[in-house]
């Protein structure tokens, strides 16, 4: 029986509402925009707190600098815009003004991965995990469902220091019960011994559907959802992989430099040498078109994830 999801919610509106609720408790929270405040879910914030909302226009490099300056005065800036425009475009400012200065700024990339599918490669964000992770001291979050987005907002606003969080564009379903978000901790979704499957962000939903199909075939997959991409939950990963002996990662990111690379490095650092398959977007300029069609093309829908797992397991059995 195919897994059914309901209660779909807009990740941008969910995010904006969560920031607005936290702003009621903390007057130091301010929001900055690069000509996309309402698109980022801040319509209510703008109405409630017009003096705490700063529309800067399309100048993301400058917005990072302004955010850093506001943080120096004790404010807690939240800057949200299209993912490649808050990571790739202002990378030097992100590195120097936020990372090097260890400023308490929260940068949120919306329409991440290929969710801005129709606008093509210039609007895709497939290297954000990789490049932001190269900035020392930056926490990277990728919540997996609406409730995790809400709780991740609370968590990132409660810690001191720079944070990057990515959220998508299409509506996503509630997957889990609401509970406090603990930065640096993963979530074991299913137990199994055939394979450790590690996912992040909205890819977790497709993986849950694939894992259910495999379970019906008697294949027990240990599925770990990783809403904190960095720092990664090394203990959870290593304990699982020691049991299963193989690992596969799924992400809406290049297969190079993202979650898969982080997992591989984590295993290597802990002396664990096992087969690993990284499943994501090939290292190329991704195509454009309807989002669901693109996800199917790159085998990132439930069918593609299911097929990828089956192929990996078959190849591993053949190598024994």
Is the domain of 196 the same as that of 155? Answer: no
Question: Do 248 and 199 belong together in one domain?
Answer: yes
Are 162 and 203 in the same domain? no
Confidence at 2, pLDDT banded by 50, 70, 90: low
Q: 111 pLDDT exceeds 50? A: yes
CATH of the domain at 277: 3.40.50.920
Q: What is the CATH number of the domain that holds 160?
A: 3.40.50.970
Among the three residues 151, 173, 195, which one is the final residue of a domain in this structure?
Answer: 173
Query: What domain range includes position 156?
Result: 8-173
Radius of gyration from C-alpha coordinates of the chain:
19
- Asked if residue 144 has pLDDT above 50, the reply is yes
Could you tell me the pLDDT band of residue 25, with boundaries at 50, 70 and 90?
very high
Model pLDDT, residue 1? 47
Is the pLDDT confidence value at 211 over 50? yes
Q: How confident is the model at residue 3 (pLDDT cuts 50, 70, 90)?
A: low
| pLDDT tens string 178-189 | 999 999 999 999
Q: How far apart are CA 252 and CA 236, in angstroms?
A: 22
Decide if pLDDT at 320 tops 80: no
Nearest-angstrom CA–CA distance, 44 and 269: 45
Whether 244 shows a pLDDT value over 70: the answer reads: yes
Pairing of strands 163-166, 106-110: parallel
**74 and 98 housed in the same domain:** yes
Residue 172: pLDDT over 70 = yes
Closest CA to 246 of 215, 209, 277: 277
| Boundary-marking domain end, from 173, 199, 234 | 173
Share of the chain above pLDDT 90, in %: 93
The answer to the question of residue 3 being in a domain is no
Here the tokens at position 2 are 């195919």
Mean pLDDT of 194-211: 96
pTM > 0.85: yes or no: yes
Q: What is the pLDDT of residue 317?
A: 73
Is residue 2 a part of any domain in this protein? no
Domain final residue pick, 147, 173, 199 = 173
Contacts by residues 61-66 (CB-CB < 8 Å, ≥ 24 positions apart): 61/89, 61/90, 61/92, 61/93, 63/32, 63/33, 63/34, 63/90, 64/90, 64/93, 64/94, 64/97, 64/98, 64/105, 64/107, 65/93, 65/97, 66/32
Say if residue 63 is in the same domain as residue 150: yes
**Domain count for the chain:** 2
């Amino acid at each position: 029986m195919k897994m059914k999801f309901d209660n779909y919610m807009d990740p941008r509106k969910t995010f904006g509402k969560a920031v607005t609720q936290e702003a009621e408790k903390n007057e130091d929270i301010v929001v900055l925009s690069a000509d996309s405040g309402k698109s980022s879910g801040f319509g209510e914030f703008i109405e409630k707190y017009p003096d705490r909302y700063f529309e800067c226009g399309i100048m993301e490099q400058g917005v990072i600098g302004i955010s850093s300056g506001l943080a120096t005065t004790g404010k807690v800036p939240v800057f949200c815009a299209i993912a490649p425009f808050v990571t790739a475009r202002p990378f030097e400012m992100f590195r120097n003004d936020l990372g090097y200065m260890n400023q308490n700024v929260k940068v949120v990339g919306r329409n991440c991965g290929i969710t801005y599918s129709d606008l093509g490669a210039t609007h895709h964000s497939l290297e954000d995990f990789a490049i932001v992770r190269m900035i020392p001291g930056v926490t990277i979050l990728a919540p997996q469902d609406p409730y995790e987005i809400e709780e991740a907002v609370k968590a990132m606003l409660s810690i001191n220091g720079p944070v990057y969080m990515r959220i998508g564009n299409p509506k996503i379903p509630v997957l889990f019960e609401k509970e406090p978000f603990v930065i640096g901790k993963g979530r074991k979704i299913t137990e199994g011994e055939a394979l450790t499957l590690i996912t992040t962000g909205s890819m977790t939903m497709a993986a849950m559907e694939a894992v259910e199909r495999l379970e019906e075939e008697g294949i027990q997959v240990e599925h770990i959802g990783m809403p904190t991409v960095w720092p990664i939950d090394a203990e959870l990963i290593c304990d699982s992989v020691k049991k299963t002996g193989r690992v596969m990662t799924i992400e809406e990111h290049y297969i190079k430099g993202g979650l898969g690379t982080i997992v591989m490095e984590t295993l290597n650092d802990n002396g664990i040498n096992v087969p690993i398959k990284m499943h994501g977007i090939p290292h190329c300029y991704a195509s454009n078109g309807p989002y669901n069609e693109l996800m199917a093309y790159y085998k990132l829908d439930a069918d593609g994830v299911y097929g990828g797992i089956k192929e990996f397991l078959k190849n591993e059995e053949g190598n024994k």
